[in-house]
Homo-oligomer: A and B are copies of this chain.
Amino acid sequence: MKLEHYARLSAEEKDALDALTQVRTRRVRSRDDIIREGDAPSVINVVLEGWACRYKTLEDGRRQIIAYLLPGDVCDFSAPVLREMDHSVGAITTVTLAEIAVESVGHLFATYPRLTQALCWDALTSVSIQREWTVNVGQRTAFERLGHLLCELFVRQRLLGLTRGGVCDLPLTQAEIADTIGLSVVHVNRTLQDLRSAGLISLGGRELTIHRLEALQRAVLFNPSYLHLGHEGRHLDAPPPNP
């Protein structure tokens, strides 16, 4: 479903993908690891349901969350090529994974070149997001960083049809948010208050509401071009109503 944003796929191509993802699935409980640094996974894991994150830990315990994986995202792109994982992937919520054999992927792409293109697009977009995160942590203020993260997670979910008006899931603890944008938990909390009292968002009970997306985007210098939404990515859910 997600790849459809990147290239029109034929019914046949979609069937081939579906067949792949149904072969073998795995369930990982919330907060457990999906893959650990140093593993050399022999299958490719794709998130079918739930949220996961990539993260790296320094020797002294500091942790940085490097990416969030939503349904349709691939956990271990590098598996077939690089020797071993240089970071871990953990489950945020309970996650359902498809485990895909490396060989079957090779065959699939040889048969359907348009799939290759779609997957390339996907991979390049995730690199682009990674770059934007570097900018986020390197240049923005706490307020901007946090707002930017919320914008991104909202828009990505909207692409997947997972938003309800201006509302979406946000199953992260403040500690996880802190490790994502390089702030302390305390300051994340302070900054959330700021965003709330600016009337831009509501957040609580694992649910985020963005009251005025346009205004928030402007306030935190969020420019979605790095998500490469392109043409196809716009018609999924109406933008949030102006309250």
Q: Could you tell me which A residues sit within 8 Å of B by CB distance?
A: 54, 56, 58-60, 62-64, 66-67, 77-78, 81-83, 86-87, 117, 120-121, 124-125, 127-128, 130-135, 137-140, 179-182, 221, 225-226, 228, 230
Residues of B within 8 A of A134 (CB): 64, 66, 130, 133-134, 137
Return the 8 tightest CB-CB contacts between A and B, nearest first: A138-B182, A64-B135, A62-B139, A137-B138, A64-B138, A137-B137, A78-B124, A130-B130
Task: Say whether B77 contacts A124, CB under 8 Å.
Answer: yes
Residues of B within 8 A of A140 (CB): 58, 62
Q: Could you tell me the distance in whole angstroms from the C-beta of A185 to the nearest C-beta in chain B?
A: 14
Contact sample, A vs B, 26 pairs, CB 8 Å cutoff: A56-B131, A56-B135, A58-B135, A58-B140, A59-B221, A64-B134, A66-B134, A66-B135, A77-B124, A78-B124, A78-B128, A81-B120, A81-B124, A82-B228, A86-B131, A86-B228, A127-B127, A130-B130, A130-B134, A134-B134, A134-B137, A137-B182, A138-B179, A138-B180, A138-B181, A138-B182
Known: A86-B226, A127-B130. 12 other contacts (CB 8 A): A56-B131, A56-B135, A60-B221, A63-B139, A64-B134, A64-B135, A77-B124, A78-B128, A83-B230, A86-B128, A127-B127, A130-B131
Which among B67, B81, B135 is the interface contact of A117 at CB below 8 angstroms? Answer: B81
Task: Say whether B181 contacts A124, CB under 8 Å.
Answer: no
**In whole angstroms, what is the CA distance A140 to B125 when docked?**
26
**In whole angstroms, what is the CA distance A86 to B132 when docked?**
10
